[in-house]
Structure 1
Amino acid sequence: MTDLLTALLLGIIEGLTEFLPVSSTGHLLIVQHWLGQRSDFFNIVIQAGAILAITLVFRQRLWQLASGWRDAANRDYVAKIAVAFLVTALVGLPVRLAGWELPETVTPIAWALILGGVWMMAAEHFAERRGDQPLVTWKVAVLVGLAQVVAGVFPGTSRSAAAIFMAMLAGTSRRSSATEFVFLVGIPTMFAASGYAFLELALEGDLGSENWGAVAVAFAAATATGFVVVRWLLGYIKSHRFTGFAIYRIVLGAALLLLMPAGS
């Protein structure tokens, strides 16, 4: 397979899985097991494409929040996004510097997929028993920030899954409200994480020699695919539960344990 075709495939997979609650890390692990590992720089670039996609999807909402600062409800919502981001940054940075992260190998990722699927079904069940509660509270903002840190420590958890279902359990039981808040928090969070990772590589002189054509193809593929997937997901969850994603995670995790070498 040519480098450009490999890059295209990896970009599509990143765009498909970054914001669905199924773990982009787990899927990229499978593909890179067969197609070969890519550089950290390459992985940062395709994640940046996914961030651009979600920014484009929410461009009108972001403009509404930015231009409507005189509205108290807008200011309150932006402040909660800021709190969730700051919690992630203030807790996550020391965790990262301390090196508290499980290795991106099959066994921990597979178990994170399986346990995450069970957690998703349980969380959605208990959230729905409380009835329709669309508001994002300060408690939700803090716990979403912490959930993003947990997802960073346990590869395969899925940042979106951990944060969405934490929001639903903590008080925002409406799926669409919880998902929108988590996605909006994800924009500054992922930009900051990608920027930090890029700075680390630059300071270490580890940007390497890249095939820039392949990098550009992967970036474009991640952006285009991510845009379509997020638009679809926002419509899907208005009338569907997350159960299908949970079952998929459990099946994928079991397949990883059975079919892939434990050390890969």
Structure 2
Amino acid sequence: MTDLLAALLLGIIEGITEFLPISSTGHLLIAERWLGHRSDLFNVAIQAGAILAVVLIYRQRLWQLADSFLHPARAEPVHGQSPRDYAWKLAVAFGVTAVLGLVVKKLGFELPEEVAPVAWALVIGAIWMVIAEQLAAKRAQALGERSEITWLVAVLVGVAQVVAGVFPGTSRSASTIFVALLLGTTNRAAATEFAFLVGIPTMFAATGYELLHVARAGGLAGEDWSALAVAFVASALTAFIAVKWLLRYIQSHTFTVFAIYRVILGVALLAFLPR
């Protein structure tokens, strides 16, 4: 397999899995066993491509939130709440992630990125997703449809992002979406939008941090820029398609299919791991 083809496949895998609740870290870790390990700069680049896709998808919402601070009189509600309050809740969620993330990094608390813990995280996460969705459905029946994001949910979404970062295979999107569904909104679309929006500054910050680290370590020299460009474009395009599809899918479907996929993949990895 040529290096460009391998880069293309890794970019596609990142784009598809970054925002679907199936763990991009887990899939890339597994894929690199067959397609070859890549540099930190390469991994930063394909993540940046996926972020760019989400920014493009939510560009109108992002402009609405920014414009609410410039022209508050004409600001329209976002999921039943003030756009300025919604923006501040995004900021709080990001702030919690940033602070806790730095604490965790300073303490050096992280699991090794190996196949076995990723496989277990996929299976355990799938079970939790099914239970969480059932509980969320009961809340929706009892309380009716609620789209507002509370301050408690904003804080816990920030915590969930850190937890997902510590445990490879957990999935940042799954953690944040289901925290919102369990403890705040009962609307899947509203929970997913908040999870994706708070992921934009979080992932930009993480990407910037890693890029600075790579530059200081001299990792920019000797990089295969052609392969990196191919992977970046592939990640952006596939992430755009994947997120667009997911937003339509959850309008009339649950997340159960993703839980089933996680279990199948996790069990398969555990079964073949000894070989």
Q: What interval of TM-score do these two structures reach, taking the shorter chain for normalisation?
A: over 0.9
Please name the residue that 1:206 is paired with.
Answer: 219
- Given the alignment, which residue of 246, 258, 275 partners 1:233? 246
Gap regions ≥5 residues in structure 2:
76-80
Matches within 5 A, 1:98-113: 98-113=107-122
Q: Which amino acid aligns with 2:217?
A: E
Q: How does 1:34-49 map to 2 (within 5 A)?
A: 34-49=34-49
Q: SS in structure 2 opposite 1:133?
A: coil
1:74 paired residue among 64, 67, 83: 83
1:1-264 superposed matches below 5 A: 1-69=1-69, 70=72, 71=75, 73-131=82-140, 132-261=145-274
In structure 1, distance between residues paired with 2:91 and 2:187: 21
Contact 2:214 2:220 in 1 (8 A): yes
RMSD between aligned alpha carbons? 1.2
Of stretches 59-68 and 228-237 in structure 1, the one that deviates more from structure 2 is: 59-68
In the TM superposition, structure 1's runs of 4+ consecutive aligned residues that sit over 3 Å from their partners are none
Offset at residue 133 of structure 1 (A): 1.8
Equivalent residues of 1:106, 1:261 under 8 A apart:
no
Q: Report the TM-score, using the length of structure 1 for normalisation.
A: 0.97
Partners of 1:108 and 1:207 in 2: how far apart?
31
Q: 2:117, 2:33 → 1: CA distance?
A: 16
Q: C-alpha deviations, 1:6-52, integer Å up to 9, x for none?
A: 11110000000000000011111221111111111100100000000
AA partner of residue 116 (structure 1):
G
> Where do 5+ consecutive residues of structure 1 fail to align?
none
Query: In 2, are the aligned partners of 1:102 and 1:155 still within 8 Å (CA)?
Result: yes
Kindly tell me the number of residue pairs found equivalent between the two proteins: 262
Equivalent residue letter for 2:261? Y
CA contact (8 A) 2:116 2:273 kept: no
Letter in 2 for 1:84: A
Amino-acid identity (%):
63
Contact 1:16 1:225 in 2 (8 A): yes
User: Following TM superposition, by how much is the alpha carbon of 1:208 offset from its aligned partner in structure 2, in angstroms?
Assistant: 4.3
Q: For the residues of structure 1 that align with 2:220 and 2:160, how far apart are their CA atoms?
A: 30
Q: Is the contact between residue 84 and residue 142 of structure 1 (CA under 8 Å) also seen in structure 2? A: yes
- Separation of aligned partners in 1, 2:255 and 2:174: 10
Question: Take 2:274 and 2:199, find their aligned partners in 1: how far apart are those partners?
Answer: 32
